[in-house]
């Protein structure tokens, strides 16, 4: 009997495995292929996962640095296989993610049908709830049917615009806290600093979500955020093994870590809920999102465990949906503004004109058209959510295709957002102007612009995130000038959201004019009074302090040192970006100097000795060859390219013309200051020339050229601070000499200039 039961179970399991791993996928593939939907050949168990992995690894090697952030094809590094497959199989094709069959759709008409379909038979993919259960549970992001509708009904009203307007005070507060910490950092580093902005922006958006939705401050939610991020990283490691049956039950290191984190996060959220219940002994009219979730949890739930799961899953969903997405959008937006100074200034001018020194409020941010255009463009090029996915929970028809039950439909946002057929030839360029007449004016099919999704599952938090972005970015632009740090490496990566793979480094400095004024402080005071958080007192002090005028940089430098040096190959060599060439030059110069200066060798002797040796070798080689091979050695004819010589001669002529121009200008007797500078500089060089031979001087200059810019780039902030002090001192000394000596000299034009 026992044997019979065991045999039935084993056969049942084998049949189930055979059905889900072989029969079902094949049936779905066949049904699609019959309708002309083809795609890459899937492998047993893995589908097309290996090809996808390989393609991603190849794309990862293509990274670029901050100087070349002008093409923004982030799909090419995050989802490169789709471009290849689309070229091969067309806009609608199928592929397999493990044993999940997916239809890729970027055909605008079909995209419209899918995204706006209101039937509950089209839902979120069921594999997501299974594979990312630890991260998302059965919350609003992954659930389907009536359960999803119930959750949406509870959460949506809490994020309507009128509710979001009530959150503006705390968004301002969180933004000012962030600005204050950056301001302190920049001041401490002498007015200009490279800041890794992504962790700070995450902190900002986490702070807002935590306060806006859960009434707790960031310090309480901090641990949850940290753990959720680790959990998210662990989940994204599994993205390419998604769909392999049973893999989520294997007690691998990654899975064990995931399970432990899930447990800890659940405990932390339930602790906040307990505190909330205790503190709300008397029910109040003002309900926040957590309150609504707690009330919603009691409807149709019969066990404590299902109530707890409902609360925890929805809290996690809101944290996840609103925290990373807003933070990465702000990160990309600031990167784009830093790389495009003209747009940066345009938006800054607009903010100054609208806000007039006040902290932006709901009415002001509504008027910020240029900023809206920049945010739209940033979300077009770097949409945090790269794929909108659905599953046919019953057989459905879209376009000409009948989609069998269980097939997933993927709409690739990065592809749709950058398709030149939809957006024009500059589709990979940053051009916010395209949004001057809104989304309808920007492209032929406005429904394909979907950073927040479209249709019944459109993002619930888009009002809140746009308010956050506008307040934060407008405040940042009034306070700091942004440029791309030379150390920034541009490599968008997909970790559930599209984020900068190596973090985001922005060079920040205080802007030319300080715009956040006295009235801002009054507003800020009001905002802080509104919010009784004690942690903001330090922020308040920081903003009350008078803000420095623009810091001076040596050589009037506002650009990165690499750009100041011309930004080309020479700059690369001087800053040791081409280590081999720089090292070779320094070593070569040292050898030459040592040879001639220390060992007493002479240049003419060296040239003669080298010629003797090479002529002797060639002479014997030619004779030997005639003797052995019975043929002459053909020596190569050396012809120097005319173009290079011409360029060299022209450069020399230009330099000579420039020097003679300076000589004439100084000698003309019109500018005493220039004359004194020239005499003083020549006098210094004449003294230095007495100490060293000409060769040593050339050698020292080479060494300085190969070291000073390199160290200046590294320690520029400190050097600028001392340089500024030295320049101030020199100016002071000069004005004293001017007042006590020069003005008393009987030279007519000095007096004239003083009167002027
Ligand atoms: C720039 C920031 C944001 C972006 C780009 C973004 C994007 C998206 C996208 C693409 C979806 C999926 C739509 C679909 O599957 O069709 C979504 C869903 C959602 N988002 Fe956002 N989101 C952002 C911020 C927020 C914020 C701040 C919150 C909450 C406070 C939030 C809450 C949600 C929720 C609850 C859903 C699920 C809606 C549903 O399935 O019914 N999002 N978001």
From 191, 256, 242, select the one nearest 511 (Cα to Cα): 191
CB-side neighbour CA atoms (13 Å) of 36: 6
pLDDT given at position 751: 47
Confidence check: pLDDT of 519 > 80: no
The whole model's pTM is what?
0.67
Q: What are the tens digits of pLDDT across the range 383-422?
A: 999 999 999 999 999 988 999 999 999 999 999 999 999 9
Ligand 1 atom with minimal separation from the 469 CA: 1
Q: Is pLDDT of 241 > 80?
A: no
Q: Looking at the domain assignment, is residue 135 inside a domain?
A: yes
CB half-sphere exposure, 682, CA atoms < 13 A: 8
Whose Cα sits closest to atom 41 in ligand 1?
457
Residue with tokens 């429904």: 447
Distant-in-sequence, close-in-space partners of 319: CB < 8 Å, separation ≥ 6: 206, 209, 221, 224, 225, 228
Q: Is 459 annotated as a binding residue?
A: yes
Q: Give Cα separations from 603 to 257, 442, 585, 600, 609 (angstroms).
A: 69, 67, 19, 10, 10
Query: What burial letters (b/e) apply to 387-407, b meaning 16+ CB within 10 Å?
Result: bbbbbbbeebebeebebbebb
Report yes or no: 449 and 439 within 8 Å, Cβ to Cβ. yes
pLDDT in the model for residue 160: 92
Say yes or no to pLDDT of 214 above 60.
yes
pLDDT value of residue 65 = 47
- Give me the interface pTM, i.e. the ipTM: 0.98
So what's the pLDDT on residue 39?
A: 93
Whose tokens are 């200039």? That residue is: 753
Residue 508: the pLDDT is 87
pLDDT bracket for residue 236 (50, 70, 90): low
β-bridge mates for residue 392, sequence order: 122
417 within domain boundaries: yes
Q: pLDDT (tens digit, 9 = 90+) per residue, 77-100? A: 899 999 899 999 998 999 998 889
- Asked whether residue 217 is assigned to any structural domain, the reply reads yes
Ligand 1 mean position to 450 CA, how many Å?
11
**Could you identify the atom of ligand 1 that is nearest to the CA of residue 115?**
16
Residue 580: count of CB within 10 angstroms of its CB = 9
Q: 75 in ligand 1 pocket by Cβ < 6 Å?
A: no
pLDDT of amino acid 570: 79
Question: Would the CB of 472 count as within 6 Å of ligand 1?
Answer: no
Residue 323 lies in a domain: yes
Give one DSSP letter per residue of 701-740, joined into a string.
HHHHHHHHHHHHHHHHHHHHHHHHHHHHHHHHHHHHHHHH
- Nearest ligand 1 atom to the CA of 148 is 41
Q: How many domains does the chain have?
A: 1
In this predicted model, what pLDDT tens digit does every residue of 711-744 receive, in sequence order? 887 777 778 778 878 887 887 887 788 777 767 7
What angle in degrees, to the nearest 10, is found between the helix axes of 462-479 and 369-381? 110
The residue ranking higher by pLDDT, 413 or 555, is 413
Task: Give the CATH number for residue 173.
Answer: 1.10.630.10
Ligand 1 pocket check: which of 323, 325, 382 to mutate, most ligand atoms within 8 Å of Cβ?
325
pLDDT at residue 545 tops 50 = no
CB 395 within 8 A of CB 405: yes
Establish if 178 belongs to a structural domain.
yes
Using the atom order of ligand 1, give the atom closest to the CA of residue 212: 30
| Confidence (pLDDT) at 521 | 38
pLDDT of residue 353: 94
Give yes or no for residue 328 CB within 6 A of ligand 1: no
Q: What is the mean pLDDT of residues 466-485?
A: 95
DSSP 218: H
Helix (H) or strand (E) holding 203: helix 197-214
Q: Is position 6 within any domain?
A: no
d(CA 484, CA 377): 18
Q: Render pLDDT for 606-660 as a digit per residue (tens, 0 to 9).
A: 889 889 998 998 888 888 877 777 666 677 777 766 767 777 787 788 788 878 8
Strands (DSSP E) contained in 625-685 are none
* Per-residue confidence (pLDDT) for residue 220, from 0 to 100: 66
Q: What is the dihedral of CA 11, 16, 21, 22, to 10 degrees?
A: 70
Question: The tokens 């990160």 sit on which residue?
Answer: 331
Nearest protein CA to atom 3 of ligand 1, as residue = 325
- Evaluate whether residue 53 is within a structural domain: yes
333 lines ligand 1 (CB under 6 A): no
Establish whether residue 125 lines the binding site of ligand 1, counting it when its CB lies within 6 angstroms of any ligand atom.
Answer: no
CB atoms under 10 Å from CB of 482, counted, come to: 24
Asked whether residue 416 is domain-assigned, the answer is yes
What mean pLDDT value characterizes the chain?
A: 82
Confidence of residue 23 (pLDDT cuts 50, 70, 90): confident
What is the extent of the structural domain holding 141?
35-543
């Amino acid at each position: 009997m026992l044997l019979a039961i065991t045999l039935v179970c084993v056969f049942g399991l084998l049949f189930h495995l055979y059905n889900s791993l072989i029969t079902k996928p094949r049936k779905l593939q066949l049904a699609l292929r019959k309708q002309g939907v083809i795609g890459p050949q899937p492998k047993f168990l893995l589908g097309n996962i290996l090809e996808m992995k390989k393609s991603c690894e190849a794309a990862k090697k293509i990274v670029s640095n901050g100087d070349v952030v002008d093409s923004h094809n982030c799909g090419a590094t995050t989802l490169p296989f789709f471009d290849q497959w689309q070229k091969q199989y067309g806009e609608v094709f199928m592929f397999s993610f493990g044993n999940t069959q997916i239809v890729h759709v970027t055909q605008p008409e079909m995209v419209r049908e899918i995204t706006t379909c209101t039937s509950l038979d089209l839902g979120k993919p069921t594999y997501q709830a299974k594979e990312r259960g630890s991260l998302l549970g059965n919350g609003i992001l992954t659930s389907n049917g009536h359960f999803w509708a119930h959750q949406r009904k509870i959460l949506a009203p809490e994020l309507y615009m009128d509710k979001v307007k009530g959150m503006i005070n705390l968004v301002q507060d969180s933004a000012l806290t962030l600005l204050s910490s950056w301001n302190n950092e920049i001041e401490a580093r002498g007015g200009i600093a490279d800041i890794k902005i992504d962790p700070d922006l995450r902190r900002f958006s986490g702070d807002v979500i935590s306060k806006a939705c859960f009434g707790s401050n960031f310090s309480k939610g901090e641990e949850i955020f940290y753990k959720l991020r680790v959990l998210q990283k662990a989940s994204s490691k599994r993205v390419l093994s998604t769909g392999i049956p049973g893999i989520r039950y294997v007690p691998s290191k990654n899975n064990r870590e995931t399970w432990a984190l899930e447990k800890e996060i659940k405990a932390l959220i339930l602790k906040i809920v307990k505190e909330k219940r205790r503190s709300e002994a008397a029910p109040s009219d003002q309900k926040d999102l957590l309150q609504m979730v707690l009330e919603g949890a009691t409807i149709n739930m019969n066990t404590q465990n299902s109530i707890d799961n409902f609360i925890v899953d929805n809290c996690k969903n809101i944290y996840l949906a609103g925290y990373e997405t807003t933070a990465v959008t702000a990160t990309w937006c600031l990167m784009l503004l830093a790389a495009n100074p003209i747009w940066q200034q345009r938006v800054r001018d607009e903010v100054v004109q609208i806000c007039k020194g006040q902290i932006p409020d709901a009415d002001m941010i509504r008027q910020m058209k240029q900023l809206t255009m920049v945010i739209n463009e940033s979300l077009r090029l770097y949409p945090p959510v790269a794929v909108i996915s659905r599953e046919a929970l019953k057989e459905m028809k879209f376009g000409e295709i009948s989609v069998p039950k269980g097939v997933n439909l993927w709409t690739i946002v990065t592809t749709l957002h950058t398709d030149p057929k939809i957006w024009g030839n500059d589709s990979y360029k940053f051009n916010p102007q395209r949004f001057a007449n809104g989304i309808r004016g920007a492209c032929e099919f406005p429904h394909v612009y979907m950073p927040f999704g479209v249709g019944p599952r459109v993002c619930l938090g888009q009002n809140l995130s746009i308010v956050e972005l506008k307040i934060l970015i407008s405040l940042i632009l009034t306070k700091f000038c942004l440029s791309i740090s030379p150390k920034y490496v541009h490599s968008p990566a997909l970790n559930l959201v599209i984020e900068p793979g190596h973090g985001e480094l922005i060079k920040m400095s205080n802007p030319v004019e300080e715009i956040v004024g006295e009235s801002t402080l009054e507003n800020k005071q009001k905002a802080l009074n509104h919010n009784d958080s004690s942690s903001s007192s330090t922020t308040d002090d920081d903003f009350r302090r008078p803000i420095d005028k623009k810091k001076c940089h040596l050589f009037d430098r506002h650009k990165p040192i690499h750009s100041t040096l011309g930004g080309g190959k020479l700059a690369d060599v001087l800053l040791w970006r081409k280590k081999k060439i720089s090292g070779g030059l320094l070593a070569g110069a040292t050898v030459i100097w040592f040879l001639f200066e220390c060992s007493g060798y002479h240049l003419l002797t060296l040239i003669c000795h080298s010629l003797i040796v090479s002529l002797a070798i060639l002479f014997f080689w030619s004779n030997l060859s005639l003797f052995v091979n019975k043929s002459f050695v053909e020596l190569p004819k050396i012809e120097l390219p005319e173009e290079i010589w011409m360029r060299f001669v022209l450069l020399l002529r230009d330099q000579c013309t420039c020097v003679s121009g300076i000589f004439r200008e100084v000698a003309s007797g019109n500018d005493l200051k220039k004359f004194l500078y020239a005499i003083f500089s020549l006098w210094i060089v004449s003294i230095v020339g007495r100490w060293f031979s000409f060769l040593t001087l050339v050698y020292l200059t080479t060494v300085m050229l190969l070291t000073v810019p390199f160290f200046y780039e590294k320690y520029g902030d400190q050097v600028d601070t001392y340089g500024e002090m030295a320049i101030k001192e020199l100016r002071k000394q000069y004005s004293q000499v001017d007042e006590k000596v020069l003005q008393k000299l009987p030279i007519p034009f000095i007096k004239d200039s003083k009167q002027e």
